[in-house]
Structure 1
Amino acid sequence: MEWLPEVGKRGWVVLTKDGKISNNRLERIAVARAQIKMFTFASQSLSGEEMAGILLQAIVPMKRFVSKHPAPFIAKIYRDGHLDMWKDAQMLLEELQEF
């Protein structure tokens, strides 16, 4: 997660298939510290082709989502292309303060 601060500084958005972030508090804290906007696929058993298809459906909603929600956040992308907030800025920052 050493690369996250640079991503945060540049204002880039992270797209990952890493489902472990839901169980790894240190990774979530790194996201919060770096002020990252992150999307993760809800299913970790997707092929590259499936992820590409989902991303094509979700890219426009993702752009709107990013413009409406302040960093940091972690949102999930589902097979049908719909998005749900999983951890918003308030939740992540509270977790960071508890750390």
Structure 2
Amino acid sequence: MSRPQLATVRFFIDADLRGLARLVCQERPDITYLGDEGALIRRRFRPPCPIPATAIKDVEWIPEVAARGWLIITRDRKIQQHTRERHAVRDHRAKMVNLFSDDAATIWTQLEVLLTRWREIEQMHAEPGPFIYSLSRTGQRRRISLD
């Protein structure tokens, strides 16, 4: 039997979507989240998340996630009002997708938005940062100002 290969993590799910993160990380070796202990999925080993604390502020983990080239998936109802977080995205050239909060109130509806928009999110990973897009289940895509 061959040894498992190391997975390449490409996506990071914020703590405000922890239930969703635990669900999708059972199937995807390329997604991690705060406090993720790592996993072996289909002969791919996802290492533990390098950001172990779940009580860390966004402005502290955004630079590390951005430096790794990971696309951030979050659900921040007040992203437009959180100037420090938007500036952290801008200053560290992060890539962020914000699930539209009215469409993502429960783990089930979060999963629905994520799966409905997954191919588009994968394409966004290849785009250069910085950016924040708000995505709805029904196809709305709105760019959030970083200033």
Closer, same or farther: CA 60–78 of 1 in aligned 2, 3 Å:
same
Specify every segment of 5 or more residues in structure 2 that has no aligned partner in the other structure, as ranges.
1-58
After superposition, residues 60-99 of structure 1 pair within 5 angstroms as 60-67=119-126, 69-80=127-138, 82-87=139-144, 92=146, 95=147
Please point out which of 83, 93, 109 is paired with 1:25. Answer: 83
**What is the TM-score normalised by the length of structure 1?**
0.77
Alignment of 1:52 onto 2:111 = yes
Equivalent pair of 2:100/2:134 in contact (CA under 8 Å): yes
| Identity of matched residues, % | 31
Q: 1:84 corresponds to which letter in structure 2? A: R
C-alpha separation between the residues in 2 aligned to 1:41 and 1:28? 15
Which structure is higher in RCO with an 8 Å CA cutoff and minimum separation 6? 1
Whichever of the two has the greater Rg, that structure is 2
Equivalent pair of 2:117/2:137 in contact (CA under 8 Å): no
Specify every segment of 5 or more residues in structure 1 that has no aligned partner in the other structure, as ranges.
none
Q: State how many pairs are aligned.
A: 88
More helix by share: 1
**What is the TM-score normalised by the length of structure 2?**
0.54
Which stretches of structure 1, 4 residues or more, deviate above 4 A after TM superposition? none
